[in-house]
Amino acid sequence: MLRIQNYLNGQLVPPQAGRYLDNVDPATGQVYGQIPDSGPEDVAAAVAAAEAALPAWRALPAEDRGRLLVKIADLIDASLDHLARAESQDNGKPLSLARVMDIPRAASNFHFFGTAAGHFATEAHVQEGVAVNYTVRHPVGVVGCISPWNLPLYLFTWKIAPALAVGCCVVAKPSEITPATAFLLSELCIEAGLPAGVLNIIHGNGPNCGQAIVEHPSIKAISFTGGTATGRHLARTAAPMFKKLSLELGGKNPNIIFADCDLAAAVATSIRSSFANQGQICLCGSRIFIERPIYEAFKTEFLKQLQDQKIGDPLEADTKQGALVSEAHLHKVLAYIKLAHEEGGTLLAGGHRVTVPGRCEGGYFLEPTVFENLPFDCRTNQEEIFGPVVTLTPFDTDEEALLMANSTDYGLSATIWTRDLQRAHRVAHQLHSGIVWINTWLHRDLRTPFGGMKNSGVGREGGLEALRFFTEAQNVCVKL
Ligand SMILES: NC(=O)C1=CN([C@@H]2O[C@H](COP(=O)(O)OP(=O)(O)OC[C@H]3O[C@@H](n4cnc5c(N)ncnc54)[C@H](O)[C@@H]3O)[C@@H](O)[C@H]2O)C=CC1
Ligand SMILES: O=C(O)/C=C/C=C(\O)C(=O)O
């Protein structure tokens, strides 16, 4: 049985208390490994290692730090098969998805921020004949990165890479539900020659290990992605310590389909934005609003294409939908399906747990599920389900679409489908969402600000936003 270790001060070591947690394969329901159940003592050792490594790491020229990050990116690329299999087994997602999305994106994160380090220029503000101001950006110091289970290596590296690029040292914790690829990353960091203590990966659960990272007084900034309730708890701990916080939280994203859209493209992409990764992406468009003249046409085509969404063993090449991440999460999503019935919704498709015969008989599979006839302000349409469940709702005017789209406590992303670009821009600017896609979904450019409004988070990641987050700006004013 695979027993993974912490990556501490450049070495793979067991947790100090010798305790382990079971790791379950969601596609089979079987325990297949163990992970350290680390506590505050392991976090303290990791922080000490990071503090010791910090002076040399921050003093290294940005180009040299960048070169090491690019080397890690190359090693991720070279380990694509191995990493993709590990991600699929740990999370339940189709192997094919891990191969084309999760692992290539993890490599891109390291490559992007490795090369960005050398482009992170100092700003200057000249007051003609009076003074020159220039702004130095110092690394914050030792930072904490805490990531979730839905896109394990993709989101873990999205946080770590910019922190390392600007000269911070990192104590990072992947989700205890999907720790495998973070462990494999530690092996690649050792192979790449990353200096000891620069990155420390500590495994364990949230209340014991994550909480110790947030509470540690030497950790100056926390970058977190996960549930809104956890983010709120984390902010309560970190804010009185005046830590910098970047919180990427939940979403309940609208997908607005106007009557003049390219219907074929809108339907095909909406299948993906509804059910990719079993609907477990914070950017999934779980509320589909359709302009009334094409409501029936959209519905018919959507339900037709849904039949191609093969649920099955994540290792099989034609599987489109794998297992949900855990039994607890499966039951949470099933409880929302029950709620949707209670709230008067009409079930158009799915709604049931699926048994996949053979090796995956005990897995946590669920049919892609579609409801209609639910009011926009009911709980099903307001709360984050984070699973393969969407609702269809007609609208008559732009104002009505905006009212419904903006009605939740969340404000992460939104998608608009129309050929009328004036309308698209007008509607986009009125949406309370940090990210708006027009005639596409999950199209990513790593330079753009990424994050949400309202309860979807605080701050932005990506490009310069991430590099700035992990630095303290210091303005130096010189009188002329
Ligand atoms: N990006 C997103 O939007 C995500 C949203 N979720 C939502 O959150 C719900 C709960 O899922 P969970 O797995 O419980 O996510 P979570 O938010 O509890 O876990 C995310 C990370 O935070 C850590 N964590 C938990 N408690 C902590 C604490 N007190 N201090 C520091 N770190 C802590 C976890 O160990 C994990 O590494 C899901 O059902 C889903 O609705 C979950 C994962 C990602
Ligand atoms: O950065 C991206 O492309 C995607 C990010 C997704 C999340 O933060 C999430 O699903 O939690």
The confidence score (pLDDT) of residue 362 equals: 98
Where does the pLDDT of residue 118 fall: very low under 50, low under 70, confident under 90, or very high at 90 and above?
confident
The confidence score (pLDDT) of residue 2 equals: 85
Contacts 24+ apart (CB under 8 A), 436-444: 437/413, 439/261, 439/262, 439/265, 439/266, 440/269, 440/415, 441/255, 441/269, 441/270, 441/272, 441/273, 441/283, 441/285, 441/415, 442/272, 442/273, 442/276, 442/281, 442/283, 444/105
Is the confidence metric ipTM above 0.90 for this complex? yes
Region 42-48: what's the mean pLDDT?
Answer: 99
Average pLDDT, the chain: 98
* Residue nearest atom 3 of ligand 2, based on CA coordinates: 444
* Residue keyed to tokens 């992007």: 112
Beta bridge partners of 30: 25
The confidence score (pLDDT) of residue 33 equals: 97
Does position 26 have pLDDT exceeding 90, yes or no?
Answer: yes
Where does the pLDDT of residue 403 fall: very low under 50, low under 70, confident under 90, or very high at 90 and above?
very high
Does position 367 have pLDDT exceeding 90, yes or no?
Answer: yes
Instruction: Please report, for the chain, how many H helices and E strands are present, in that order.
Output: 16, 25
The confidence score (pLDDT) of residue 121 equals: 86
Q: Rounded CA gap, 315 and 322, in Å?
A: 9
Identify the H or E element spanning 139.
Answer: strand 131-139
Q: Rounded CA gap, 389 and 367, in Å?
A: 9
CA 297 to ligand 2 center in whole angstroms: 31
For ligand 1, pick from 156, 230, 333 the residue to mutate: most ligand atoms within 8 Å of CB.
230
- Which residues are CB-contacts of 232 (< 8 A; sequence separation ≥ 6)? none
* Residue nearest atom 9 of ligand 2, based on CA coordinates: 282
Q: Name all domains of the chain by residue range, CATH numbers in brackets.
A: 2-249+456-479 (3.40.605.10), 253-449 (3.40.309.10)
From the number of C-beta atoms within 10 Å of its C-beta (0-12, 13-18, 19+), residue 236 rates as exposed
- Which residues are CB-contacts of 20 (< 8 A; sequence separation ≥ 6)? 3, 34, 35, 36, 37
pLDDT tens string 66-108 = 999 999 999 999 999 999 999 999 999 999 999 999 999 999 9
- Ligand 1 close to Cβ of residue 247 (< 6 A): no
Percent with pLDDT over 70 in the chain:
100
The confidence score (pLDDT) of residue 381 equals: 98
CA 212 to ligand 2 center in whole angstroms: 24
Ligand nearest to C-alpha 215:
1
The confidence score (pLDDT) of residue 7 equals: 99
pLDDT tens string 163-218 = 999 999 999 999 999 999 999 999 999 999 999 999 999 999 999 999 999 999 99
Ligand nearest to C-alpha 434:
2
Tell me the DSSP string of 255-310.
EEE-TTS-HHHHHHHHHHHHHGGGG-STT---EEEEEGGGHHHHHHHHHHHHTT--
- Whether 248 is a known active-site residue: answer yes
* Residue nearest atom 11 of ligand 2, based on CA coordinates: 282
- Ligand 1 close to Cβ of residue 225 (< 6 A): yes
Q: What tokens does 134 get?
A: 């220039």
Q: Rounded CA gap, 435 and 431, in Å?
A: 9
- Ligand 1 close to Cβ of residue 212 (< 6 A): no
Three-class SS of residue 122? coil
Beta bridge partners of 365: 354
- Ligand 1 close to Cβ of residue 455 (< 6 A): no
C-alpha dihedral over 102, 108, 111, 112, to 10 degrees?
-130
The confidence score (pLDDT) of residue 466 equals: 98
pLDDT tens string 422-466 = 999 999 999 999 999 999 999 999 999 999 999 999 999 999 999
CA 124 to ligand 2 center in whole angstroms: 33
Report the nearest atom of ligand 1 relative to the CA of 176.
35
CA 148 to ligand 1 center in whole angstroms: 6
pTM reported for the whole predicted model: 0.98
Three-class SS of residue 355? coil
Q: Rounded CA gap, 425 and 433, in Å?
A: 13
pLDDT tens string 332-348 = 999 999 999 999 999 99
Does position 475 have pLDDT exceeding 90, yes or no?
Answer: yes
Region 383-401: what's the mean pLDDT?
Answer: 98
Q: Rounded CA gap, 316 and 291, in Å?
A: 37
Ligand nearest to C-alpha 332:
1
The total of other beta-carbon atoms located within 10 Å of residue 219's CB is: 26
Does position 52 have pLDDT exceeding 90, yes or no?
Answer: yes
CA 353 to ligand 1 center in whole angstroms: 23
Closest CA to 199 of 187, 186, 208, 211: 186
Q: Rounded CA gap, 226 and 133, in Å?
A: 39
CA 315 to ligand 1 center in whole angstroms: 26
In 284-388, beta strands by DSSP E = 287-291, 346-349, 353-354, 365-366, 369-372
Closest CA to 261 of 222, 301, 309: 301
Q: Rounded CA gap, 223 and 18, in Å?
A: 28
The confidence score (pLDDT) of residue 1 equals: 81
Ligand nearest to C-alpha 448:
2
Beta bridge partners of 58: none
- Ligand 2 close to Cβ of residue 283 (< 6 A): yes
Report the nearest atom of ligand 2 relative to the CA of 283.
10
pLDDT tens string 241-299 = 999 999 999 999 999 999 999 999 999 999 999 999 999 999 999 999 999 999 999 99
C-alpha dihedral over 215, 54, 162, 238, to 10 degrees?
10
Q: Rounded CA gap, 87 and 3, in Å?
A: 16
